[in-house]
Chain A
Amino acid sequence: MIIELQKLLAGIINTLEEEVGPDVAPGKARAQFYSCLDLLNNLAAKLDWNRSLLSTEIAGVEDTLRLTLPLVEKVAGSRRGGGAEFSTLASNIAGVLAEEAADGELFARRVRLNEVLEEAIARINAPGAEDGLDEDGREAIEQAAATLREHLRNQTLRDAMYLKPMMLGKISQG
């Protein structure tokens, strides 16, 4: 779910029409092909990403960021010589959690939350991130890293549940 659904469907329809249609043999196959295309054209305007999938992912990121926030604040406070980058991260996490998604903007909300989640992963797991931290800070950064990994685990397993086996052999062999 990287590309927005309407754009993805428009591209699929375009590829089918221009790249596949001309090579479909006349007769039964062509009749079936254009029937499918007609249906896809009409369905496209009525479809959206599954709200339940998006909502589950959004809730998962929000929960993770809520758990991570106090740990990041602790890291920011325990860093000798200042923890400005962790203060900024804490502020960004608090900011995104305070935002509310307007109706129909779940996809955008998911993107925004994952941007901050990714920022947290990059900051907390960066080489040397634990340098200059006192014992409490080290413990907090380890907990934060584990919390983020737990989310990655849960989201990966959720995504995998809906993933059909890749048809690499058929695609490669043509």
Chain B
Amino acid sequence: MIEQLRAFLESKLEGAEDLVVSDLVRHTEGFSLETFSFEAVWNVGGEQHSQRYVARREPPAGLLEPYDLEPQFRTLAAIADTPVRFPRVFWYESDPAVLGAPFYVMEWVGGDVPIPALDAQGNSPFGDEGERLSLGRDFAAILADIHQVDWKAKGLDFLGVPRDGRDAAERVVDFWHGYAERSRLAPMPMMTEAFCWLRRNLPSEAPVALLHGDYRTGNFLARDGRITAFLDWELVHLGDPMEDIGWASCRLWRGDSSYVGYLLSREEFSDWYQAAGGFEFDRARIHFYEVLACVKMAAIMLTGVKAWDDGRTKDMRMGFFDQQVAGMYASIAEILGIIELP
């Protein structure tokens, strides 16, 4: 793979000579795109340059299939001059012959990926209250930055423009309903109950903004109490900003804490997001999108089960959802008021 990456970079870096690629690392965080980081050193006119890059490649099977990296690459390229913190992207390659599957290359950004769960030693993912508050403020503010992107001026219409808030809601309900149906291996009574509820409770009015689509703890890099970059833009689209807030607030990302994403209270989230220029929190719409969030997560789990059942992957991180999707159904039941969970 080092040679393929070297040849690719050589074709992209104008005037590069003596290009060497080294220190290739495959990263195991994340359940979706394959991620590799590597060091590149080259000369231009006798002057040495070096940079660490990250290549993100479509996997043979995954939780967010079918994959199409181009929309996220085009979006990230278009918003490069905004305050949104994310790794800057350089090149997208759709030809699977180059690296085995389509991929894009972005800058390497330092930091750790906190997971919303206690670590093996029983420690919280965030060191102390100060770190939690600092990361929480960044979490809220970066989301506000994303939602304030002038998507019309940036030419992001290719993501699909909803007519209004109701159309935005209907589009995502249709999308995740179709997603769940494509992964159907068995009857899904709880999913059907939830989709009926969603279709009966579509919100009517809402602004349309650029959404990350998978905004949560586990998808950002942190260092020294600050978020250095938001990652994993596979689900970027245009829609109601409360959709990102509902997803970020999903029980799954709370872990064993009472905080949104293990990070901040709902009041802190609302206050800091709005202080950073975000939209007004709308409790009814957030509730709608929290129901959708549970359904979406269950649909994603079912996609993993289907990929594993089809034999397209031997990755047990897909197969284990066969049992764990029952927990997501319990979350759906809770948010619909069917059961109460502790």
A149–B319 CB distance below 8 A: no
B192–A159 CB distance below 8 A: no
Question: Does B316 touch A at the CB level, under 8 Å?
Answer: yes
Min CB distance B241 to A, Å, is 25
Task: Find A152's partner among B187, B200, B338 (CB 8 Å cutoff).
Answer: B338
CB-contacts of A158-174 with B (<8 A) = 159-160, 163, 166, 168-174
Query: Which of A87-95, A97-105, A111-119, A131-139 forms contacts with chain B?
Result: A111-119
A111–B190 CB distance below 8 A: no
Task: Find A126's partner among B196, B319, B339 (CB 8 Å cutoff).
Answer: B196
CB-contacts of A121-163 with B (<8 A) = 121-122, 125-127, 148-149, 152-153, 156-157, 159-160, 163
Instruction: Specify which chain A residues have a CB less than 8 angstroms from the CB of B28 in the assembled complex.
Output: 174
Min CB distance B133 to A, Å, is 22
B189–A117 CB distance below 8 A: yes
Question: Does A70 touch B at the CB level, under 8 Å?
Answer: no
| B 263-290 to A, binary, CB cutoff 8 A, 1 in contact else 0 | 0000000000000000000000000000
| A 1-44 to B, binary, CB cutoff 8 A, 1 in contact else 0 | 11100011001101100110000000000000000000000000
Residue of B117, B187, B314, B339 with most partner-chain A CB within 10 A = B187
Instruction: Specify which chain A residues have a CB less than 8 angstroms from the CB of B339 in the assembled complex.
Output: 153, 156-157
B327–A160 CB distance below 8 A: yes
Please tell me the number of chain A residues within 8 Å of chain B, measured between CB atoms: 38
Task: Find A125's partner among B119, B197, B309 (CB 8 Å cutoff).
Answer: B197
A15–B117 CB distance below 8 A: no
B323–A163 CB distance below 8 A: yes
A153–B338 CB distance below 8 A: yes
B330–A3 CB distance below 8 A: no
A2–B200 CB distance below 8 A: no
Min CB distance B252 to A, Å, is 8
B189–A173 CB distance below 8 A: no
A118–B188 CB distance below 8 A: yes
A2–B185 CB distance below 8 A: yes
- Given A19-B314, A174-B28: A169 touches B117 (CB 8 Å cut-off): yes
Question: Does B329 touch A at the CB level, under 8 Å?
Answer: yes
User: In the assembly, what is the distance between CA of A12 and CA of B333, in Å?
Assistant: 30
User: In the assembly, what is the distance between CA of A160 and CA of B189, in Å?
Assistant: 16
Task: Find B319's partner among A12, A18, A121 (CB 8 Å cutoff).
Answer: A12
Task: Find A117's partner among B120, B187, B317, B333 (CB 8 Å cutoff).
Answer: B187
Instruction: Specify which chain A residues have a CB less than 8 angstroms from the CB of B118 in the assembled complex.
Output: 169
B314–A172 CB distance below 8 A: no
User: In the assembly, what is the distance between CA of A174 and CA of B115, in Å?
Assistant: 12
A168–B117 CB distance below 8 A: yes
| B 115-132 to A, binary, CB cutoff 8 A, 1 in contact else 0 | 111111000000000000
A3–B309 CB distance below 8 A: yes
Q: List 8 A-B contacts (CB under 8 A).
A: A121-B189, A121-B196, A127-B196, A160-B330, A169-B115, A169-B117, A171-B317, A171-B320
Would you list the 7 A-B pairs with minimal beta carbon distance, nearest first?
A169-B117, A125-B196, A114-B187, A174-B28, A159-B326, A156-B333, A118-B187
